[in-house]
Structure formats: structure tokens, C-alpha cells
Amino acid sequence: MYALVVRFDLKDDASAVGFDQLVEETGKGIAKNEPGTLVYVTHRVDGAPLARVFYEVYRDKAAFEEHERQPHTLRFLAERDQFIAATRVEFITPATSKGLPADG
């Protein structure tokens, strides 16, 4: 498995609306075209209305790399910066879990 957590801090309320719309459109492409993307969940952060956190789990690194090449992902990557004040990406290794397929 290959996983990451990304936090986006958005510029303002208008940016949040545009970002959320872009994420919704991107999510449709992920759901339809990416069998190697096992989990792709976006979250709003309680008490931080301009923050979004993504939790992503891929079958393996190759599936993540395939995700990065998809037209919907390339569009997201090209358009997101207009909405974002800061980004933090952390690649993680799932240890104990419920709901994720067994590693291997």
C-alpha cells in the first residue's frame, strides 16, 4: 500500500468554494477511472473553515503514479494553486487499520 495525507489551507471563502468545486469534479474522475485508488477522502477541518485534509490510499506506488497521470488529476494540479495559501504533504505507511485491504 501507498498512502498520503495532504492539508490545504485556502486563501479565503471564495477560494474555498472554487476549491471544493474543483475537488468534487476531480473526485468523479477518480471514482470512475482509478481502480488502484483504494481510498480517496476529503475532509473539512472543525474550527478551521479554510482548511481541507485529503486522505489517500493507493494499491501501491505505481497506482499513485497512475493517479498523478490522469487528466482529472492533471487539471486539479494545474488549477488548485489559485485557491491555496499553503500545502502540506505527508507520505505515510498504514499500520493498524480497519477497512483497508491487507498489505501485500
- CATH number for the domain harbouring residue 40: 3.30.70.100
Query: What does the pLDDT look like over 24-74, one tens digit per residue?
Result: 999 999 999 999 999 999 999 999 999 999 999 999 999 999 999 999 999
Classify residue 68: in a domain, yes or no: yes
The total of structural domains in the chain comes to 1
Q: What is the mean pLDDT of the chain?
A: 95
Give the separation between CA 53 and CA 83, rounded to whole angstroms: 14
For residue 34, how many other CB atoms are within 10 A of its CB?
Answer: 19
pLDDT value of position 56: 97
Record the cell numbers describing residue 17, joined without a space: 468554494
Burial profile 85-96: b = 16 or more Cβ within 10 angstroms, e = fewer: eeeeeeeeeeee
Residue range(s) defining the domain that contains residue 24: 2-92
Classify residue 21: in a domain, yes or no: yes
- For residues 87-95, average pLDDT: 94
In 3D, which of 74, 82, 88 has the Cα closest to residue 30? 74
- pLDDT of residue 103 exceeding 60: no
